[in-house]
Amino acid sequence: MKGVREKPELYFELQKEVADFPRHRKIDDADIMQELIKAIPLVWGAQAWASWLDGELRAPSRLLRDQGAVPDLWLEIGDFNAGYPFAVSISDRAKDLTPNIAALLIRKRNPGFVRFDKAGYLPRNRAVTFETAREIAGYYVLRGYRGHLYFGAAARAGDLTKSPVSCDMQLDVWEGYYPEAGTQEPRIRLQWDEGLGGRREHIEPLAAICRTHGLNEYEIIGAADHYRKFEVQFELPFE
């Protein structure tokens, strides 16, 4: 509608609908998830904003059950420990244990969790590039790891508090808050901030992948919109 500003965000379900007689059901597709992850650019647009990655992934129950992954063991990638690019730690509930690095390096077992902290954007240490962090995330997602990944863009050197464009991926059922309150299905949210120079065309390649695979596109309606619609629907002609 003319004069109405477009919302600077797009939402797609991260599940595909499949025919499963007698009804349809939705399943996640790790190949699509990895394709989207691989499509995040190293830099965004002509401005060459550097990409970075936050988030956490957890091992699937089958890997834990078959001892293919080590419970409570975290592989941390990014700006941890004063700039060291990699760290191995133990979760708080098992803090009395010693991180079993041999399980990862020698016995080829997987971590119970993978955590990214501004991975790919390390002014003090470039040992982990964004390309490396992106590849690691895609690898674990293909292996069944699920969780949350946030891809941002650095508009100013050293300032990651505001991102002109971003891609937020919830890879599993999750608990949200306003305006996505309650139990939510897996989804991808693409946003741009025009005040920082972000444009819709920056995220269109990612949106195109979603549409190509038939992922359902939807819109978030905030509580204020619900109230406004309710008031209009039941407005009485008082004089």
The domain ranges of the chain are 27-233
- Residue 239 confidence (pLDDT): 40
Residue located via tokens 């995330």: 137
Highest mean pLDDT: which of 127-136, 216-225, 226-235?
A: 127-136
Residues above pLDDT 70, as percent of the chain: 73
pTM: 0.82
Name residue 156's beta-bridge partners: 159
Q: Which of 118, 91, 117, 114 is nearest to 104 (CA)?
A: 114
Q: Which of 187, 181, 121 is nearest to 148 (CA)?
A: 187
Q: Give the Cα separation of 48 and 41 in Å (integer).
A: 10
- Residue 3 confidence (pLDDT): 40
Residue located via tokens 């700039």: 83
Highest mean pLDDT: which of 70-79, 95-104, 111-120, 208-217?
A: 208-217
Q: Give the Cα separation of 53 and 78 in Å (integer).
A: 8
Cis omega (within 30 of 0) for bond into 22: yes
What is the chain's length?
A: 239
- Residue 22 confidence (pLDDT): 55
* pLDDT tens sequence across 3-18: 444 679 999 999 877 6
Token representation of residue 206: 């990612």
pLDDT tier, 19 (very low <50, low <70, confident <90, very high otherwise): low
